[in-house]
Copies of this chain bind each other. A is one copy, B any other.
Amino acid sequence: MRQSINLSWLDSMAFETEINGKKLIIDADKEVGGTDRGPRPKPLMLVALAGCTAMDVISILKKMRVSPDTFNVKVEGDLTEEHPKHFEKMHIIYEFKGKNLPEDKIEKAINLSQERYCGVSYNYRNAFEISFEIKILED
């Protein structure tokens, strides 16, 4: 299957695209000549990973009849200092809040995402290290 996007230059460092029918402007920091009208490109790599695995996990948990009160996925990425500034590792923190959440099912859902379903994790893992941790908090 093929996916494609088109990015159009607006002015200075600002560009506009449409993803699944939604407009998105990306832009650079003011310090490097941008006008800060939208996010920078690299954090979108973090969001792609967080979103991919988060959607897997919540849909697997739904099938397991596990419903957390809150669910957050944080991704931290470490960039090199030298050009080309690229990620050399990413760490995912899955955080759940709820009453009597079943740790074993949550772990299973995350492992299924990381090992079988999440294509973004699969792609990134071929380029750098990905680690994760799970936090389960009582409401």
Give A contacts to B, CB under 8 Å. 1-9, 13, 15, 17, 19-22, 24, 26, 28, 32-33, 36, 38-52, 54-55, 58-59, 62, 68, 70-81, 83-87, 116-124, 126-128
A-B contacts, 18 of them at CB < 8 A, read A2-B79, A4-B75, A4-B76, A5-B43, A5-B50, A5-B75, A8-B72, A15-B55, A15-B73, A41-B49, A41-B55, A42-B48, A42-B119, A44-B47, A44-B48, A45-B48, A45-B120, A83-B117
Which B residues touch A36, using CB under 8 A? 20-21
* Min distance, Cβ A118 to any Cβ of chain B, angstroms: 6
- Does more than half of chain A's interface fall in helix, strand or loop, or is it mixed? mixed
Count of this chain's copies in the oligomeric assembly: 2
Q: What CA separation (Å) do A33 and B54 show in the bound complex?
A: 14
